[in-house]
Amino acid sequence: MSLLDDIPEGALVALDTVCWIYAVEVHPQFGPLVQSFLQERLKTGKNRAGSSLLALAELLVLPLKEGRQDLADHYRGYFQSKLNWSVWEVTRDTIERAAELRAKYGLKLVDAVHVAAAALNGGMIFLSNDHGLRRVTEIKVLVLSDYVATATS
C-alpha cells in the first residue's frame, strides 16, 4: 500500500511539523511522500489538511537562527488559512485536550498539542514520522517511514 492508498479521499489530514520540513527542504526519502499528498490530494481538493499554529513556531527556529529570512517567510506563507488548508489556533480546549493526551500516553507537550488540535478540529489522520505517536487512538496516525519502501520500489 502507498501513503495515498491509506488516506481516504475526503479525509481531513493533520500534518505534523516534520512534514513541512520534508516538503520544503526536499528531503530525499520523505519529501516525495509529502509532496505527493500536497500535489495529488490537497491541491486538487480531494483532501483537506491543517496544522496547529504551534508548527509554525517550530518551523521558524532554524531559519531565524541561521538568518534565513527567505525560508522563514516561505514557512510563514504556508500558515495562512486558504482553500483546503486550515491553521488551527492553540485554544484553551486544545491545551486541555493536550493535557489529557499527555496524561494518557506520556506524549511530549508539543506532540500532544498537535494531536489535540487535529482531533478537536475533526482530523481523521495525523501524518507524522514519529513512531511513538502510534499509541494514540483518538486519531489514526500514519508514519511516513512505513511508506519509504513503497515510494522507492
Per-residue pLDDT tens digits for 46-96: 999 999 999 999 999 999 999 999 999 999 999 988 889 999 999 999 999
What is the C-alpha separation between 104 and 111, in angstroms, rounded?
A: 13
Strands (E), 8-69: 12-15, 48-52
More confident residue, 148 or 104: 104
Q: Across residues 124-139, what is the average pLDDT?
A: 97
Give the per-residue pLDDT at 152: 46
Give the per-residue pLDDT at 124: 97
DSSP single-letter state for residue 146: G
Q: Is the pLDDT of residue 133 over 70?
A: yes
In this structure, the number of other CB atoms found within 10 A of the CB of residue 42 comes to: 17
Q: Is the pLDDT of residue 149 over 80?
A: no
Per-residue pLDDT tens digits for 105-127: 999 999 999 999 999 999 999 99
Give the per-residue pLDDT at 25: 87
CATH match for 8-152 among 3.40.50.1010, 3.40.50.300, 1.10.1740.10, 3.40.50.2300: 3.40.50.1010
Amino acid (1-letter code) at residue 130: D
Cite the DSSP H helix spans in 79-147: 92-105, 109-120
> Among residues 86, 64, 147, 143, which one has the least CA distance to residue 111?
143
Per-residue pLDDT tens digits for 23-51: 998 899 999 999 999 999 999 999 999 99
Confidence of residue 22 (pLDDT cuts 50, 70, 90): very high
Question: What's the predicted TM-score (pTM) here?
Answer: 0.92
